[in-house]
Structure 1
Amino acid sequence: MKRTSLSGQIADIDLKLLRIFKTVVECGGFSAAEVELNIGRSAISRQMSDLETRLDMHLCQRGRSGFQLTDHGRLVYEATQELLVDLEKFRANVNAVHSRLIGELTLGLTDNMLTDSNSPVVNVLGAFHQQEPEVKINLQVAAPNEVERAVIEGRFNMGIVPQHHDLPGLTYYDLYDETSLFYCGRNHPLFDVPGDQLDIDTVSQHDFIAPGYTHSVMLKEQFPQLKASATSYQVEGIATLILSGQYIGFLPKHYASLWSDQQLMRALLPGILNYQVPFKIIVRRDSRPNLLREALLQAFKHPDTSTTGYA
């Protein structure tokens, strides 16, 4: 009849007994193992008996004739070696998993951020991929309010938006500031007017483009003289109207430089008509812990300053 031992799970005590058995075998007996194990011979003998009872087999001969493994003992010793090697492999593999990230992360960006060399986004994402090559980045570009909504609803793990208000469902982290100036196109009547002949009252007589996004409220408070006669919800829409030569309006300085460097646009009263918009990282306030999101958040919070700016 076939006997079965260790029908249950191998417990911590079994591993302890097997390690003691391995040491006894490699030391050549109980006496020599005392020093290695730092326990007395009687304790070693008792634990060896416990192991034999657990395995239901006789492992070794001990007595005046010395220490000698039985056939079963040799097989158990070889199996113990394999088991402990496999345990170390398992430990190493688990530790390796802890040191690398795997999965997919969805990041929402506001459109027309790419041309701002103050933004660390390009460099942070590049460095993050080098550091965590097994993380798949799903990058979505949308209007700021759409990014906010997607983060709150859990469709985006993280977003980067210009901050014009604080929503209770979001946590905000500083990233960088964007500068906007006030522009007219080359065909606009103000384009050739010398700067010393311009003032806010003169500028406010012309048709102004009100941005449809959230900081229009801030602009009304800061520049009440400006009266809107056109609206656009996108930066590109504002640029299009300015280039038409019929309207004036605010654009991010980095974005407008595409045309101002070619004298197709001109900044009006840059010392007065300007404002700063802080760009923030946003995450859902009550979101569950997410190692991928936390790793990317830390990458944005502590970028390598030597690589900030890519232009």
Structure 2
Amino acid sequence: MSRKPAAKLRQVSDIDLRLLRIFKSVVECGGFSAAEVELNISRAAISIAMGDLEKRLALRLCQRGRSGFSLTEEGVQVHEAALQLLASLETFRTHVNTVHKCLKGELNIGITDNLVTMAHMRISNALAALKEKGPEVVINIRMIPPNEIERCVLDGVLHLGVIPELRPLPGLEYYPLYEEASQLYCGRSHPLFNTPDGAIDQAALHHYDAVVPAYAQTSQIKALHQELNASATATDREGVAFLILTGRYMGYLPTHFAQRWLNEGVMRPLLPDQRYYVTHYSVITRKGLTSNLVLDTYLKELELTEASVCTGNSLVCG
């Protein structure tokens, strides 16, 4: 008995694009329930949309039930293809707007966590200038880990990213943005909180519990953390702060991020002249991008904010 050939998708319609966008959100949110808020539609409507998409593609895209949400092998491939398709559509729209010299379209940005407290606000100031020039520009920001930002920029899902400089990738362009200083901190109930720096023995620091980052760092920064008694880890700087504030751990935090707790008197730096490091942040874009008026305008505004910041404070110029 011959096997019936699989149905083929002959044309991608507006309905298909709508269903693919719902599918993309469900995958990014990790399930139907979490996607309700993102999409602002009911879980039942999401379930119907997913069922319709599976029928139109003649593929089983995901498993859902008591065991949770997961993509099938076909679902993984369709998700990757959907990301490329939706990114291509946005590129087309942006290109057409560029032909008309019209500042419309989307700017999709990925940013590493906890940079909003940087005093110079280059990202925010450049976004404000972009919105001033193009009121109809839609700005989408995703707070995700650096490795995911790199992947999304390379895939065309994001127009640009803001990441720490760890290892340069050949497919990316790098534009220096920030120098971020970090120091070693402890909380108010820590045994060293009231000890003067001159009375702290650097070698004795190893006897106290410390929280270290579970995310990627340069070899030089890793070496500083390896000198500590690592008894806890955190996947981001907010997690590090949580443990420092228990008074049971010491750990490194960016000075701009920790300043609020210094002002409240619940945190202090330890040996700030010896225990510190600097992280360099860059804006990244994909090499060989087709001209994009929205992205080009934003990058130009970043350059202008750099010039104004450097005029007022030479430390930022690195």
1:207-255: per-residue Cα shift (whole Å, max 9, x none)?
1211111116432334542231111111110000000111111001111
Supply the distance in 1 between the matched residues of 2:238 and 2:225 (Cα, whole angstroms): 22
- 1:164 equivalent in structure 2: 166
- 2:195 equivalent in structure 1: 193
- 2:73 equivalent in structure 1: none
CA contact (8 A) 1:184 1:265 kept: yes
CA contact (8 A) 2:122 2:306 kept: no
Secondary structure of the 1:261 match is: helix
Q: CA deviation at 1:304?
A: 6.6
Q: CA deviation at 1:307?
A: 7.1
1:91-124: per-residue Cα shift (whole Å, max 9, x none)?
xxx9x97543111121111111111113411111
Q: Does 1:140 align with 2:142?
A: yes
Give the one of 96, 101, 104 matched to 1:102.
104
CA contact (8 A) 2:166 2:218 kept: no
Q: Calculate the TM-score normalised by the size of structure 1.
A: 0.64
CA contact (8 A) 2:117 2:256 kept: yes
CA contact (8 A) 2:101 2:293 kept: no
Code of the residue aligned with 2:247 in structure 1: it is G
- 2:47 equivalent in structure 1: none
Code of the residue aligned with 1:300 in structure 2: it is L
Code of the residue aligned with 2:200 in structure 1: it is L
Secondary structure of the 1:255 match is: helix
Secondary structure of the 1:289 match is: coil
- 2:293 equivalent in structure 1: 291
Identity of aligned pairs, percent? 40
CA contact (8 A) 2:211 2:234 kept: yes
Structure exhibiting the larger radius of gyration computed from Cα positions: 1
Code of the residue aligned with 1:157 in structure 2: it is H
- 1:259 equivalent in structure 2: 261
CA contact (8 A) 1:180 1:251 kept: yes
Code of the residue aligned with 1:228 in structure 2: it is A
Alignment of structure 1 residues 163-182 onto 2, 5 Å: 163-182=165-184
CA contact (8 A) 2:161 2:284 kept: yes
Runs of at least 4 residues of structure 1 off by over 4 A?
Answer: 96-99, 304-309
1:105-151: per-residue Cα shift (whole Å, max 9, x none)?
21111111111113411111111111222221112221222212211
CA contact (8 A) 2:214 2:235 kept: yes
CA contact (8 A) 2:186 2:270 kept: yes
CA contact (8 A) 2:111 2:143 kept: yes
Supply the distance in 1 between the matched residues of 2:218 and 2:272 (Cα, whole angstroms): 18
Gaps of 5+ in 2: 1-95, 313-318
